[in-house]
Structure 1
Amino acid sequence: MRLYLIRHGETLWNEKGLWQGITDVPLNEKGKEQARRVAERLKRVDAVYSSPLLRSFETAKEIAEKFGKEVRIEHDLRECEISLWNGLTVEEALRRYPYEYKKWSVDPNFETKGLESMRSVQKRMVNVVVKIVAQERLNNSSDVVIVSHSLSLRSYICWVLGLPLNLHRNFKLDNASLSIVEIESKPRLVLLNDTCHLENT
């Protein structure tokens, strides 16, 4: 089985460099075009899963419609809860909440009101992907799309690679990027943050 891990297309908040978390921001026009491009990139899809957030669902819907599938919403594919600094730039968040921002950035177990720990994100992401894989094996699926978010997907990829969770900051996932995990005896990453389908957008 192959898991096509796709980060949602661009939103206005992405364009402005603002933290979004679970704020429900839709795709902007560029993001809609990115969603169309990533859908065209895929050649076969047996199932499409998405975070409940609109930017993820809109991206997933483009893919699902191309292959005549329905989008299956999984709540645990949502982005990390960071409402403490939603709508702020990195610089503004660091200035207003220096302790919380620095602590959360280096300690995967740190959480406080308005901030979900990255450990919590990783745990729910791993659990929901394991559930999806089990379900799709019963359906004899070979190509499964999962549309989610940067922090959530990076936390899962760290688990696949056996990396300490705080190393999720050592790589990036661009909007509408494609990463692929093959599921055999154990999952392995075969593609990371590929965006060749977005050239000239």
Structure 2
Amino acid sequence: MSEELPVIYLARHGDTAWSLTGQYTGLTDLPLTERGERNARRLMERLKDITFARVFTSPLQRAVRTCELSGFGAVAEVDRDLVEWDYGVYEGRLSSEVHAQHPDWQLFRDGCPGGESPAQVTARADRVIGRIRKVHGNVLVFSSGHFIRVLTVRWLGLEPSVSCSYFMLSTASLSALGYKHDLTHPVIRLWNDDHHIGA
């Protein structure tokens, strides 16, 4: 990674019971599983040699606990804009269940009835990016899968409805955003790195 231009590291939280079953987990505040805690600890080794000017975490316990077990609990700042997508009536449901009723439904295009629209999540991501771009130095963010994808495409100046569905993201993975030449050329520097987790 460049020493001159800042890098924004994105850590997805470790496993919860619902991430293992594939249920939509928005604002339901589930704890990490035992495996989720183990993998969060492995993030510590991955991140130990990087200096961060600021660390931010979603207020949801799965992100906060991942942050703590990674070694950053004492310095992290809670940012409510980093919470996962509010899935409304789809909370706790499987994608297959939703598509059985609404075959053409797409999260990043349609949003969720009783929950957030893509425009609302995009606005949150844009606010986070605005704050991050004011930081001088590397930034570390702990959040959830769908929100991290929206944050990433907005960093690139793209629309979530067109591009988010192409990005896979594993639990306890690490991704990184940054710049190619200068602060006017945003790029993805690393995506879905989970080699620290191992078998």
TM-score (norm 1): 0.85
SS of match in other structure, 1:198: coil
Point out the more displaced range, 180-189 or 13-22.
180-189
Who is 1:83 aligned against?
88
Deviation digits for residues 29-56 of structure 1, max 9, x if unmatched?
Answer: 1110111111210112323210111101
2:178 to 179, 182, 185: 182
Equivalent residue number for residue 156 of structure 1: 151
Contact 1:104-1:117 within 8 A present in 2 as well: no
Contact 1:84 1:115 in 2 (8 A): yes
* 1:133 corresponds to 2:133: yes
Contact 2:88 2:116 survives alignment (8 Å): no
The offset of 1:113, in angstroms, is 4.3
Aligned to 1:144: 139
Shift of 1:85: 1.4
Alignment of 1:66-105 (within 5 A): 69-95=74-100, 97-98=101-102, 102-105=104-107
1:28 and 1:89 map into 2 onto residues whose CA distance is 19
Higher helix share: 1
Contact residue 48 and residue 144 of structure 1 kept, 8 A = yes
Kept in 2, the 8 Å contact 1:45–1:145? The answer is no
Indicate conservation of the 8 Å contact 2:89/2:112, yes or no.
Answer: no
1:17 aligns with 2:22: yes
Report Cα offsets for 1:61-119 as digits up to 9, x if no partner. 12344xx8422100000111002111111112223x427xx344362xx4564221122
Match of 1:45 among 47, 51, 65: 51
Query: Which residue of the partner structure matches residue 166 of structure 2?
Result: 170
Change over 3 Å in CA distance of 1:197–1:45 after alignment to 2:
same
Q: Name the SS for the 1:197 alignment partner.
A: coil
For residues 16 and 112 of structure 1, the distance between their equivalents in structure 2, rounded to whole angstroms, comes to 20
Count matched residues. Answer: 188
Unaligned runs of 5+ in 1: none
Read off the aligned partner of 1:98 and give its amino acid letter: H
Q: Is 1:198–2:197 an aligned residue pair?
A: yes
1:171 & 1:111 partners in 2: Cα distance? Answer: 17
Structure-2 separation of matches of 1:124 and 1:5: 16
CA distance in 2, matches of 1:191, 1:131: 21
Give the percent of matched residue pairs that are identical in Structure 1 and Structure 2. 30
CA offset at residue 195 of structure 1? 0.9
**Structure 1 counterpart of 2:122, which letter?**
Q
Query: How many Å separate the matches in 2 of 1:133 and 1:161?
Result: 13
- Secondary structure of the residue that 2:25 maps to in structure 1? coil
Question: Aligned partners of 1:128 and 1:93: how far apart in 2?
Answer: 29
The AA in structure 1 aligned to 2:153 is: C
Gaps of 5+ in 2: 1-5
Return the offset for 1:128: 1.4
* SS of match in other structure, 1:59: helix
Q: What is the RMSD computed on CA atoms of the aligned residues?
A: 2.0
